[in-house]
Amino acid sequence: MAPVDLETRTTEFALRIIKLFAALPKTTEAQVLGKQLLRCGTSVGAHYREAKRAKSTHDFVSKIEGALQELDETCYWLELIEKSGIMSARRLASQTEAVELTKILVTVVKRAKDKMKK
């Protein structure tokens, strides 16, 4: 199986977050948490696209670190949704992808920072 590029992967992640939001109960607490999740979960791909157009390695690192912050926040809201009992862990497959994307982007940042040192 060919690897999926990060632009596609972050877009697919955002689409899963949108579908998850749509599946949340219409209770006030679920919607409040869901809107937070929707905002940060869909912005990961936007940050990545911005990074692809970075003007320098420093700019690139800054934008990827922004994506990492959004991923971390996404993980937080997913965790709250699960631990509050709003949705089961089984239905929150986005958690696994958020962790995987975090690992990938941490590696990307480390490599870029190493490149800046040379």
DSSP classification of residue 41: H
pLDDT at 1: 45
Residue with tokens 């972050």: 10
pLDDT at 12: 95
Farthest-apart Cα atoms in the chain, separation: 53
Structure tokens at 109: 């940042």
Summarize the confidence of residues 83-96 as an average pLDDT.
Answer: 86
pLDDT at 90 over 90: no
Topology (CATH) of 6-117: de novo design (two linked rop proteins) (1.20.1440)
In the predicted model, what is the mean pLDDT of the chain? 93
32 CB contacts (<8 Å, ≥6 apart)?
none
How much of the chain, in percent, has pLDDT values that exceed 90?
A: 86
Summarize the confidence of residues 42-71 as an average pLDDT.
Answer: 96
pLDDT at 3 over 70: no
What does the alpha-carbon distance between residue 40 and residue 74 come to, in Å, rounded to a whole number? Answer: 6
Summarize the confidence of residues 34-49 as an average pLDDT.
Answer: 97
Q: What is the pTM of this model?
A: 0.90
pLDDT at 94: 75
